[in-house]
Amino acid sequence: MFLKCCWRLGEKQLMWLNQLKIAIIEKNIEQIEELMQDVPHLSKAKDIDSAICLIAEAKSLVTQLRDDTQASMIQMKKNIDFLKVTQENLVSSLDVIS
């Protein structure tokens, strides 16, 4: 019974590590966030090292996606400003042109 319980605990840790790997590969930020909310207690040094590396990779991924989003937003703002500058001034039909 005890061995079965320990095996299940180890299985849960491995499943968590595998799910984190998959979430990083898929760039699934929601899944990464969910997994970070429920980090299991890791007892083996190998699992702890794997978790540290995966968490560092997840952090790097989130930072990269944030920077990409920021750059995209800046580019969109530049495009909108350009379109506003190049847009013709619309003359209202009620304006009197002398």
Give the pLDDT score at 16.
92
Distance CA 68, CA 78 (A): 15
Q: What does the block give as tokens for 3?
A: 């061995």
Q: Residue 35 is encoded by which pair of tokens? A: 């997994």
Half-sphere exposure of 8 (CA within 13 A, CB side): 4
Query: What pLDDT score does 1 carry?
Result: 39
Q: Looking at residue 8, what is its pLDDT?
A: 59
Helix residue ranges, H only, 1-98: 2-26, 29-37, 45-86
Per-residue pLDDT 10s for the chain (98 aa) are 333 444 455 688 889 999 999 999 999 999 999 999 998 888 889 999 999 999 999 999 999 999 999 999 999 999 999 988 888 766 666 666 65
Q: What is the pLDDT of residue 98?
A: 55
